[in-house]
Amino acid sequence: MGVTAVRPGPRLPRARGPLSRDLLALLTGSPESAAADEPGRPEAADAWGEDHQLALYLCYELHYRSFAGVDARWEWDARVLALRGRLERSFLAALRAAAGTVAPLEDQLRELLVEPVDGDGLSYFLLRRGERWQAREYLALRSLYHLKEADPQSWVVPRLHGAAQAALVAVQFDEYGAGRPERTHSRLFAEMMADLGLDDGYGHYLDHAPAPALAVVNLMSLFALHRMHRGALVGQFAGVEITSSPGSARLADALERLGAGPAGTRFYREHVEADAVHEQLMRHGVIDALLADEPELRDDVAFGLAAGALVDDRLAGHALSCWREGRSALLRPLDAAAA
């Protein structure tokens, strides 16, 4: 019986400050030879800043595919976990401060179901006047999540039970291609990247992605890796599924207008149909069932929904402000020759 080759993890990124520098130095060594103390002082860093978000992303990525050359034992090393906990507490405090008073869950869900007549988000911009270089940047920004799409949400499956768990697994079944590896959403996103002349390697654009893009992924991992935040993770996931279908239609049309072929629009075309079904499953199958069993999680679900929208809006605001000024939204612009 043959052995399937496994691609190594992505290379470690460049440091963005003392926190990520110290953590990277730790990860390039072995747990036995490293200093006994945990690296860095997260309390002195801006929780929304480049250094803090990269350090947190590095800690989380050890639980996914890790990085080339990093000892697998670092995943559960007490020094890394202690640093991660301090980074998480700072990030969570910043999220709560930025979110302010969170609207009731029912009000948030009701508002999400109303599609604005004349929206001004990223999908509207790319559809109406986006250029090909901006569409490529958008895919690079989103690739940190979509190349592992639904992996963070899978952490919550064993933390639910009964009807809520069954409905969430039904959504995840579609995310992973309904048993067909060529139809997994991460695979479709990689094919879309390749169609637009981008490198589809997992984590390839980490050094390009600014803090607002890292925060989107870090939020999911923060909620997903803690049982106490299972309600918040359900809220975040529901927000994505409820709002995805019309935005995906706009993005598919935008990419087609900018010269993408069938492989370059298939990912978003798939989401137009799939997420229309997922909206109902998440609202009624997951949220309603979860709150029937655990009504005390209502505020957590509401916070997760609000926090997910917050980090998405921060990323959109960053990208749009850059593009409207004619400059790159990435830390390192893409190679124009590959467009």
Look up the CATH number of the domain holding residue 207. Answer: 1.20.910.10
pLDDT-derived band at 6, boundaries 50, 70, 90: very low
Of 78, 98, 118, which residue is a domain's last? 98
Could you read off the pLDDT of 255-283 as tens digits, one per residue? 999 999 999 999 999 988 776 778 888 99
Query: How many angstroms separate the Cα of 315 from the Cα of each of 39, 45, 100, 282, 324?
Result: 28, 20, 18, 24, 14
Q: Is residue 31 part of a domain?
A: yes
pLDDT at 139 over 50: yes
Same domain, yes or no: 22 and 149: no
Q: Is residue 8 part of a domain?
A: no
Same domain, yes or no: 84 and 142: no
Same domain, yes or no: 231 and 175: yes
Same domain, yes or no: 236 and 187: yes
**Which range of residues forms the domain containing residue 307?**
104-338
Can you tell me the distance from the alpha carbon of 193 to that of 216, in angstroms, rounded to the nearest whole number?
Answer: 19
Q: Is residue 3 part of a domain?
A: no
Which pair of tokens denotes residue 81?
């976990």
Can you tell me the distance from the alpha carbon of 232 to that of 309, in angstroms, rounded to the nearest whole number?
Answer: 12
pLDDT at 1 over 50: no
Which pair of tokens denotes residue 180?
């067909």
Of 98, 121, 154, which residue is a domain's last? 98
Which pair of tokens denotes residue 194?
């390749």
Q: How many residues are given for the chain?
A: 339
Instruction: Work out the percent of the chain whose per-residue pLDDT is above 90.
Output: 83
Same domain, yes or no: 207 and 158: yes
Same domain, yes or no: 75 and 216: no
Which of 85, 106, 98 lies closest to 235, judged by CA?
106
Mean pLDDT value across the chain:
92
pLDDT-derived band at 330, boundaries 50, 70, 90: very high
pLDDT at 239 over 80: yes
Can you tell me the distance from the alpha carbon of 38 to that of 82, in angstroms, rounded to the nearest whole number?
Answer: 7
Which pair of tokens denotes residue 317?
């605001």
Can you tell me the distance from the alpha carbon of 153 to that of 144, in angstroms, rounded to the nearest whole number?
Answer: 15
Q: Is residue 48 part of a domain?
A: yes
Q: Is residue 7 part of a domain?
A: no
Same domain, yes or no: 74 and 177: no
**Structural domains counted in the chain:** 2
Q: Is residue 210 part of a domain?
A: yes
3-state secondary structure string across the chain: CCCCCCCCCCCCCCCCCHHHHHHHHHHCCCCCCCCCCCCCCHHHCCCCCHHHHHHHHHHHHCCCCCCCCCCHHHHHCHHHHHHHHHHHHHHHHHHHHHHCCCCCHHHHHHHHCCCCCCCCCHHHHHHHCCCHHHHHHHHHHHHHHHCCCCHHHHCCHHHCCHHHHHHHHHHHHHHCHHHCHHHCHHHHHHHHHHHCCCCCCCCCCCCCCCHHHHHHHHHHHHHHCCHHHHHHHHHHHHHHHHHHHHHHHHHHHHHHHCCCCHHHHHHHHHHHHHHHHHHHHHHHHHHHHHHHHCHHHHHHHHHHHHHHHHHHHHHHHHHHHHHHCCCCCCCCCCCHHHC
Can you tell me the distance from the alpha carbon of 5 to that of 303, in angstroms, rounded to the nearest whole number?
Answer: 41
Q: What number is the average pLDDT over the span 80-93?
A: 96
Which pair of tokens denotes residue 18?
């003392």
